[in-house]
Amino acid sequence: MGAATYKVTIRTDQANEEGKNAVRIRITKDRTTKYYHTAIFLKLDDDPRKSEWNLKATMEKQNWVTSRNRDFVAHNAHIKRVYDGLKEIESIHPTYTAAQIRDAYNKPVQEEKKLGLVPYFLEWVRRKRESRKYGTARSYISIFGYLTEYTGNDVPENILTPSLGSSLVSSMLAQKYAPNTINDALGKLRTLFRHAVLEGYLPPMRNPFEVGKVEKEDTPVDYLTEEQLLSLIDLQIPINKKHLYNARNIFLMQYFLHGARFSEAVLLRWNDVQETQISYRPKKRSSAKKTIPRHAGIDWVLNQYPQEGKYVFPYMEGKDLTEEATEKRITICNRRVNLHLRTLAKIAGLEVHLHTHIQRHTFADRVWNLTGDLRVVQEMVGHGSAKTTENYLQQLGVEIKNQVSEQLYSGVLSGNAQENKLQKPAQSRVTETASKEK
């Protein structure tokens, strides 16, 4: 029985619904061939300038996925990890067939799991990172931090009583946390606890985080009108303030790209820019691309940057990073841009707390006013759920509701009749009615 041979290949006889081909590792042993599917799909083209698959890839360079795929660093690392893992299994089990090598990699030995809420939280975060949901992983780390700040690093089973949730809320309120922050924390802790019980990390018990939401006042949100937003175009920024210049431009580009998220704008590549449109893959939606016709606003921003390097904006240039490192850099850049936007708001005389997300509300409100169609707003903004869109419009609509209410009831009493009825005491009106009845 000879040793197996391994080769990274791409399937050419069949493509998925998006027209992409599966990357596989071919295992050949004793004239029998089996394939391990890496779950990576790439655009294959005979023209190397368009293909995401490198026809001249070598094991030494580990360059199977080209830089035309935004996740090429992570994909190449994943392929190398699987390749090495398959060979390691054969070194431990030299008598395995090609099929056994493949199946053994799919079913790694499970370590005995530690029980409790903290071990499950660590497992939950690991899974999110493994599925490349780095932002979600960070949010759960922050949320769990609120709990351990109150209970200590260890969360023993005897403390998971129905009173824990209420006590946690009281503690967070005392520390001046906003209602939205508290409600978000409770929601994530409820989800985490429920799954911990379902997967056997905790015994069946009542969810301690099933407590009522913290009420918040129906007050107008920090609102940015389209007129205020577009006024930033004419803002005079000193030439030595490049950071303010770039922050203004990426903020406007987000709005021009149908209220794009910061992560989408900061990763915008020159390859995404076509002659008549911009086409890119949103961060939080399906695999379908978002295509936006080029217009004067987009061109105004693009004309300020030379077509050099990979990205339109300078924030992500430099050494290629892993996907997780890229997400961390995006978070850092987002914070910096938000600080620069505050400075821009002062220079522009805007009494609004500018941040990279506020333009999504402005865009959603503008589309709603133009169409009155919730579905159109949802599709253009890129919300996965119509409920999220409703929340956007509900928050933005507080001021509008107040205006409509004033207009609605301002004509109930008019002229002298209004003045007379308002001045006449209630008791006199009762007496007057009684006299008429007599």
pLDDT tens readout for residues 235-259: 988 878 899 999 999 999 999 999 9
pLDDT value of residue 415? 52
* Res. 111: pLDDT tops 50: yes
pLDDT value of residue 251? 95
Over 141-203, what HEC string results? HHHHHHHHHHHCCCCCHHHCCHHHHHHHHHHHHHCCCCHHHHHHHHHHHHHHHHHHHHCCCCC
pLDDT value of residue 70? 77
Question: What's the whole-number mean pLDDT along residues 97-112?
Answer: 76
Dihedral of alpha carbons 364, 370, 372, 378, sign:
negative
pLDDT value of residue 402? 61
* Res. 217: pLDDT tops 50: yes
Beta bridge partners of 23: 10
Select the more confidently predicted residue: 371 or 189.
189
Beta bridge partners of 279: 291
Select the more confidently predicted residue: 314 or 407.
314
pLDDT value of residue 283? 72
pLDDT value of residue 427? 47
Task: Look up tokens 């493949």; give the residue.
Answer: 102
Q: Which range has the worst mean pLDDT, 142-146, 188-192, 286-290, 389-393?
A: 286-290
Select the more confidently predicted residue: 40 or 325.
40
Distance CA 240, CA 189 (A): 46
Question: What's the whole-number mean pLDDT along residues 154-179?
Answer: 88
284's tokens: 């939080």
* Res. 281: pLDDT tops 90: no
At residue 5, the 3 state secondary structure works out as: strand
Select the more confidently predicted residue: 21 or 114.
21
* Res. 287: pLDDT tops 60: no
Q: What are phi and psi of 307, to 5 degrees?
A: -80, 70
* Res. 417: pLDDT tops 60: no
- What average pLDDT does the chain have? 83
pLDDT value of residue 422? 45
Confidence of residue 34 (pLDDT cuts 50, 70, 90): very high
pLDDT value of residue 438? 44
At residue 329, the 3 state secondary structure works out as: helix
Select the more confidently predicted residue: 132 or 80.
80
Report the percentage of the chain scoring pLDDT > 70. 84
Distance CA 40, CA 213 (A): 41
The pTM is what?
A: 0.55
How confident is the model over 372-416, as pLDDT tens digits? 787 888 888 877 777 777 766 655 555 556 666 666 676 665 555
Select the more confidently predicted residue: 113 or 301.
301
pLDDT value of residue 339? 94
* Res. 208: pLDDT tops 50: yes
pLDDT value of residue 321? 72
- With CA atoms as reference, report the closest residue to 35 among 68, 83, 72, 89: 83
pLDDT value of residue 222? 66
Dihedral of alpha carbons 308, 314, 318, 322, sign:
negative
pLDDT value of residue 428? 42
Confidence of residue 430 (pLDDT cuts 50, 70, 90): very low
Q: Which range has the worst mean pLDDT, 135-144, 156-165, 322-331?
A: 322-331
pLDDT value of residue 421? 45
Confidence of residue 65 (pLDDT cuts 50, 70, 90): very high
